[in-house]
Amino acid sequence: MAEIEAKTEVTGSVWKIVTELGQRVEAGETIMIIESMKMEIPVMSEEGGVIQRFLVEETTPVSEGQVVAILTT
Amino acid sequence: MPAFSRILVANRGAVAARVLRALAEMKIPSVAIYSDADAGAPYLGLAGETVHVGPAPARESYLNQDAIISAIKQTGADAVHPGYGFLSENASFAERVHGAGAHFVGPSLRWIDDMGHKAKARGLATRYGLPVGRGSGVLSREKDTILSAAASIGYPVLVKPAGGGGGIGMLPARTPDELIGAVERAAALCERAFGTADVYLERFVERPRHVEFQILGDRHGNVAHLFERDCSVQRRYQKMIEEAPAPAASRERIAATAASLAGKLAVAGYDNIGTVEMLMDADGDLAFLEMNTRLQVEHGVTEEITGVDLVRAQIRSAAGDRLADILPHPITMRGHAIEARVYAEDPRRFFPSPGKLTVFRPPAAQGVRIETGYCEGRDVTPHYDPMIAKVIVHRPTRESARAALIDALGAFPIQGVKTNIPTLLAVLGSEEFQAGRPHTELVAEIVARMR
């Protein structure tokens, strides 16, 4: 069981978390949406896995490359 | 003119800078507002006084009507210039400004209200006799009605939000099957973005040009036009390059459309600055898209070719001056102007790229106009739109303007954020743009070629 880090590709703030703890997501599925400069940029899972932890909440400011959720395969 | 005694600028960035500059020239005392993120912004120095209106997020500051209304009362401003974006097309804000005893520098309330709802605006445009393309009213959720609406327009169709703009929730559909899914997806997106799931259909024009007409009305029943702008260079309905006049178009047809729009809007009582956006198809036919009841981002290219200061003209019109006193007779067009919008974004992935402007040196060449709310050392935060500068050139010919803009963008060092300058240069250097054949899919096609 490997841990996967889901990272945001942009600096902004968390607009909406669209998944729940314990939820299984497939590769390429949106975990949460970051709002930056009036655009919505999804954080997508690189691999399929189960969401173990969220490291942010809605409205939390985030920086490019920051880990926002941990999944396990 | 019964001049305003103090004008509050309810905006930020490049447009706040632009309006504050005009107010200084007109010797009208000004008030600027700012959020935490904009404290110390360079343009605030142009204002007579400044009022802090809240934290960085726009909904707590530049969209915070309570805070802005109390700034109006606190400073005794008797007029509010809304700029563009934020509350500039919000009829309830304009009403509250009136309620606070100040003028709203824009058209009468009914215009803001009517034109803000895009499906309603189409209906009104039809009633005023403007050329409107085939389309539907707001769709019901019944499959059969949706399909028959599309059948009477003819495929392909474009599903569009009734309650907002900016390209959000716009989806094309080429078949009945595609249409049902597109309507559902668009309605969900619109509900989230605009608080209303209302969508409608329009005929989908392949590779159209976006041509818009600059309008100015006064409070005495007069409306004039200040020619057109071509804003076809867009990515996902976000404009990137705008120019005036429109290249490779029939002058006769454009002039006839402009004169007809001004005449019809005069009859309808339009009474301040506005822009009628139209789509031009391959045959040169123009169809009404929407009307913006405010100053436009790209107003500068019109100012360059006409010599008319549109912000001053807008303020004088709002103060009750007559067009005959505001505008030259006749309004003439000289040379060619092109504007490029510089965005803080990754030119490859088109993601926003906030950061500190460690280097930001706009070119100081003669005949190159820069509009910006930033300076070196300032932070471009994720809270607002990504436009960090507009670069505008004015030359005798389109080709010399194009060359000058390429030079200007090439001489604009920016570090600390990524910018779209490589994309702008690729478009300006493309065969299609050079030949005067821009269209709204051009950027996507050029980006695909670059990959």
> Which chain B residues have a beta carbon less than 8 Å from that of A37?
344-345, 352, 354, 382-386
- Asked if A36 lies within 8 A of B385 by C-beta distance, the reply is no
Query: What fold, for B7-105?
Result: Rossmann fold (3.40.50)
Residue B351: which of A10, A13, A35 has the nearest Cβ?
Answer: A10
Q: Do B354 and A11 touch (CB under 8 A)?
A: yes
Running DSSP on this structure, what letter comes out for residue B6?
A: -
pLDDT digits (tens, 9 = 90+) for B179-198: 999 999 998 888 877 777 88
**Conformation bin of residue B377: beta by default, left when phi > 0, alpha when psi is -120 to 50:** left
Contact list in A for residue B168 (CB cut-off 8 A) is none
CATH number, domain B132-203, options 3.10.105.10, 3.40.718.10, 3.30.1490.20, 3.40.50.10140 = 3.30.1490.20
Main-chain phi, psi angles of B281, to 5 degrees: -90, 180
CA dist., res. B316 & res. B75, Å (int): 21
Q: What is the pLDDT of residues B257-313, one digit of tens each?
A: 999 999 999 999 999 999 999 999 999 999 999 999 999 999 999 999 999 999 999
CA distance B355 to chain A (A): 9
Give DSSP secondary structure letters for B141-180: S-HHHHHHHHHHH-SSEEEEESS--TTTT-EEESSHHHHH
Give the best residue of B349, B351, B379, B419 to mutate against chain A (max A CB count within 10 A): B351
Q: How far apart are the first and last CA of chain A?
A: 5
Tens digits of residue pLDDT in B219-230:
999 999 999 999
Q: What is the mean pLDDT of chain B?
A: 94
End-to-end CA distance of chain B: 56
Instruction: Band the pLDDT of A38: cuts 50, 70, 90.
Output: confident
Note the residue count of chain A: 73
DSSP B428: H
How do B414-415 and A61-62 pair as beta strands?
A: unpaired
SS in 3 state form for chain A? CCEEEEECCCCEEEEEECCCCCCEECCCCEEEEEEECCEEEEEECCCCEEEEEECCCCCCEECCCCEEEEEEC
pLDDT, residue B314, reads 98
> Do the interacting molecules here have an ipTM over 0.95?
no
Q: Which CATH architecture has domain A3-59?
A: Beta Barrel (2.40)
Taking an 8 Å cut-off on Cβ atoms, the answer to whether B354 and A37 are in contact is: yes
pLDDT score recorded for residue B2: 56
- Listed by start position, the domains of chain B span 7-105, 132-203, 209-450
Q: Which residues of B have a catalytic role annotated? A: 294
- Report pTM: 0.92
Query: Which of chain B's residues have a Cβ under 8 Å away from the Cβ of A13?
Result: 57, 382
Nearest Cα residue in chain A from B386: A37
Rounded Cα distance between B244 and B254, Å, is: 12
- Asked if B352 and A9 come within 8 Å (Cβ–Cβ), the reply is no
Query: Is B133 in contact with B202 (CB distance < 8 Å)?
Result: yes
Write the CATH number of the domain with boundaries B209-450: 3.30.470.20
